[in-house]
Homo-oligomer: A and B are copies of this chain.
Amino acid sequence: MLDDSFHVFDTTLRDGAQREGVNLTVADKLAIAKLLDEFGVGFIEGGWPGANPKDTEFFQRARTELSLEHAQLTAFGATRRPGAKAADDPQVAALRESGAPVVTLVAKSDDRHVRKALRTTLDENLAMITDTVRHLRENGQRVFVDLEHFFDGYHYNPEYALSAVRAAAEGGASVVVLCDTNGGMLPADITRVVTAVRAETGARLGIHAQDDSGCAVANTIAAVDAGASHVQCTANGYGERVGNANLFSVVPALILKHGRDALPEGCLREMTRVSQAIAEVVNIAPSTHQPYVGVSAFAHKAGLHASAIKVDPDLYQHTDPALFGNDMRMLVSDMAGRASIELKARELGLDLADDRELLGRVVDRVKAMEQSGYSFEAADASLELLLREEQGESVRYFEVESWRVISERRGTTRAESSVLSREAPGAAAAESSVPAVEAVSEATVKLYVKGERMIATAEGNGPVNALDRALRSALEGVYSALGNVELTDYKVRILEGSSGTDAITRVLIGSGDGRRDWTTVGVGENVIDASWIALEQAVNYGLLNQGYPRI
């Protein structure tokens, strides 16, 4: 456990959940809290108990289901209502009864917000702050106060903004967090205001920066430079509108570039894993271009760089990717020269250095295929198959005669049934005589294995699932170890041509056999055909991994 002198405070579960498209279940929130704790943050803001049933349930289940090694769980809530006592306010009671050792109270500090949004007097707002903080402190909870819209408020009426800081400190808040709620500040603004507030009040200050100007990370660091000792961030920068200061950019800057003791020993190298795992739970594709943890963050494409990197990788990287559990990658693309392909082949365990003619052929074929819609940057297994083919080694365990997949749905939808989904809307549904409608897919695959013709048919919950099952069914008699290989991911990308109609489809299929994972790519006008191309490669590559001799 780190000492209390510097706080890394995560608000993914509260502010991060405000991001457009995010919808977390209680199980999701528990899983994310566990991951954040593994990363070593000091505080995890779990939500607003009492504000909605999900957050209330989260705090209840956290008591028994969540065991934290590094972090303290924090409940978020608001100051009491105007004109009442904190002790009598049901919203404050939910915070008191949440079981959280720490409460973060949001309070107003912008004169205009007090009058127009809260609709109370400036003095009553200050009383609400002091009273609520004091009440929770008397209940034995630690209290941080988030002063919403602080920087805008300070600009409009600095005296009032400062009096809100003093009101929080007077009630016993251990940190007063200055929030750039609308995200309009630039680092120079933050430096000026944090420096002034610190000099005027002497309070311990924190920073909460939204990213609307694209400066949330820099703003957070500027506040620390000016004396703030508590930073509020979210995993991958999730948050309302543009998002919040990205935890996984702020923390490495503080550790590596400011020499600050922000995480427990050994945690930094979990960063890439935790970032990607949280993206999985939140169900947002991990940002490939995110600093430090993105799959592209240490990926080199330019031919100029690739040749110099062979000399000394440190010349072209600001830091070592291994510190964060990430890796340097060489990219293969139509900009790639021979140096990139050679390094990539070496990464894949193939030595092509001596064969300049082969290298040239691979470069040409990669360029031509990328022109037609392929992308090998994410599909290492496909690139390896291509390299092996150009070496004269075809990785093909079966020959395909034909495949067919039928998808259908039967069962009339009546005029009054919903056009939106399979469930009928409202009360009408219960009495409806509409028969249950169900879509099914059925695939038939005909192929030859070692000269023998095989035919198999299978059903699936979608056309690609049905094809995958039929293909396995046709092959498993001969290749029993195929049972170890499974499809783990399926991605579809529509590539628009110059006009909308001649769109082609790129499919990426992720597979794994428990020991390793691989990705294959297929391209075609028809999404099912593109899927089949990626599927055939996935299975052939899997059989190669299982050690079968090629036919």
Q: Which residues of A in the span 498-519 have a Cβ within 8 Å of any Cβ on B?
A: 498, 500, 503, 505
* Interface locus among A135-143, A295-303, A339-347, A470-478: A295-303
Assuming A407-B404, A496-B280, is B526 touching A184 (CB within 8 A)?
A: no
The distance from the CB of A224 to the nearest CB of chain B, in whole angstroms, is 11
Say if the beta carbon of A165 comes within 8 Å of chain B: no
Q: By CB atoms of chain B within 10 A, which of A333, A400, A420 has the most?
A: A420
Q: Which residue from B419, B487, B528 sits with its C-beta under 8 Å from A462? A: B528
Say if the beta carbon of A50 comes within 8 Å of chain B: no
Q: Which residues of B contact A425 (CB under 8 A)?
A: 365, 389-390
Q: Which residues of A in the span 148-174 have a Cβ within 8 Å of any Cβ on B?
A: 149, 152
Q: Which residues of A in the span 252-299 have a Cβ within 8 Å of any Cβ on B?
A: 253, 257, 280, 283, 288-292, 294, 296-299
- A532 and B242 contact, CB distance less than 8 A: no
- A377 and B20 contact, CB distance less than 8 A: yes
Q: Which residue from B213, B249, B257, B416 sits with its C-beta under 8 Å from A318? A: B213
Say if the beta carbon of A348 comes within 8 Å of chain B: no
A217-B147 Cα distance, complex, nearest whole Å = 26
A280-B503 Cα distance, complex, nearest whole Å = 13
Assuming A315-B112, A400-B413, A412-B399, is B370 touching A23 (CB within 8 A)?
A: yes
A280-B243 Cα distance, complex, nearest whole Å = 23
A406-B400 Cα distance, complex, nearest whole Å = 18
The distance from the CB of A498 to the nearest CB of chain B, in whole angstroms, is 8
A409-B471 Cα distance, complex, nearest whole Å = 14
Q: Which residues of B contact A394 (CB under 8 A)?
A: 415-416, 418-419
- A187 and B222 contact, CB distance less than 8 A: yes
Say if the beta carbon of A65 comes within 8 Å of chain B: no
Q: Which residues of B contact A421 (CB under 8 A)?
A: 369, 372, 374, 522-523, 533
A16-B18 Cα distance, complex, nearest whole Å = 31
Q: Which residues of B contact A290 (CB under 8 A)?
A: 242
Nearest B residue (CB) for A534: B420
- B302 and A18 contact, CB distance less than 8 A: yes
Q: Which residue from B302, B315, B402 sits with its C-beta under 8 Å from A240? A: B302
- A440 and B526 contact, CB distance less than 8 A: yes
Nearest B residue (CB) for A309: B117
- A20 and B299 contact, CB distance less than 8 A: yes
- A212 and B318 contact, CB distance less than 8 A: yes
Assuming A182-B317, A217-B214, A335-B18, is B299 touching A533 (CB within 8 A)?
A: no
Say if the beta carbon of A319 comes within 8 Å of chain B: yes
Say if the beta carbon of A81 comes within 8 Å of chain B: no
The distance from the CB of A372 to the nearest CB of chain B, in whole angstroms, is 8
Q: By CB atoms of chain B within 10 A, which of A315, A395, A440 has the most?
A: A315
- B289 and A243 contact, CB distance less than 8 A: yes
The distance from the CB of A510 to the nearest CB of chain B, in whole angstroms, is 9
Say if the beta carbon of A206 comes within 8 Å of chain B: no
Please, how many residues of chain A have a CB less than 8 angstroms from a CB on the other chain?
148
Q: Which residues of B contact A523 (CB under 8 A)?
A: 421
Q: Which residues of B contact A17 (CB under 8 A)?
A: 335
- A298 and B241 contact, CB distance less than 8 A: yes
- A20 and B495 contact, CB distance less than 8 A: no
A395-B412 Cα distance, complex, nearest whole Å = 17
A315-B298 Cα distance, complex, nearest whole Å = 40
- B419 and A408 contact, CB distance less than 8 A: no
The distance from the CB of A169 to the nearest CB of chain B, in whole angstroms, is 25
- A213 and B253 contact, CB distance less than 8 A: yes
Say if the beta carbon of A529 comes within 8 Å of chain B: yes
Q: By CB atoms of chain B within 10 A, which of A116, A409, A425 has the most?
A: A409
Assuming A116-B312, A297-B241, is B182 touching A537 (CB within 8 A)?
A: no
Q: Which residue from B19, B301, B409 sits with its C-beta under 8 Å from A532? A: B409
- A463 and B463 contact, CB distance less than 8 A: yes
- B396 and A402 contact, CB distance less than 8 A: no
- A300 and B527 contact, CB distance less than 8 A: no
Say if the beta carbon of A204 comes within 8 Å of chain B: no
- A524 and B399 contact, CB distance less than 8 A: no
A335-B54 Cα distance, complex, nearest whole Å = 10
Assuming A116-B315, A389-B425, is B241 touching A463 (CB within 8 A)?
A: no
Q: By CB atoms of chain B within 10 A, which of A27, A117, A182, A527 has the most?
A: A527
Q: Mark A190-214, 1 if CB is under 8 A from B, else 0.
A: 0000000000000000000001111
Say if the beta carbon of A215 comes within 8 Å of chain B: yes
The distance from the CB of A433 to the nearest CB of chain B, in whole angstroms, is 14
Q: Which residues of B contact A211 (CB under 8 A)?
A: 291
A60-B61 Cα distance, complex, nearest whole Å = 67
| 12 chain-A/chain-B pairs, Cβ below 8 angstroms | A113-B308, A181-B316, A186-B221, A212-B291, A214-B246, A396-B415, A399-B412, A419-B540, A420-B537, A462-B505, A463-B526, A489-B494
The 9 closest A-B pairs by CB, nearest first: A184-B318, A218-B218, A439-B529, A404-B408, A214-B249, A182-B318, A407-B528, A214-B217, A492-B492
Apart from A18-B302, A213-B217, A385-B419, list 4 A-B contacts with CB within 8 A.
Answer: A214-B246, A240-B305, A400-B412, A406-B406
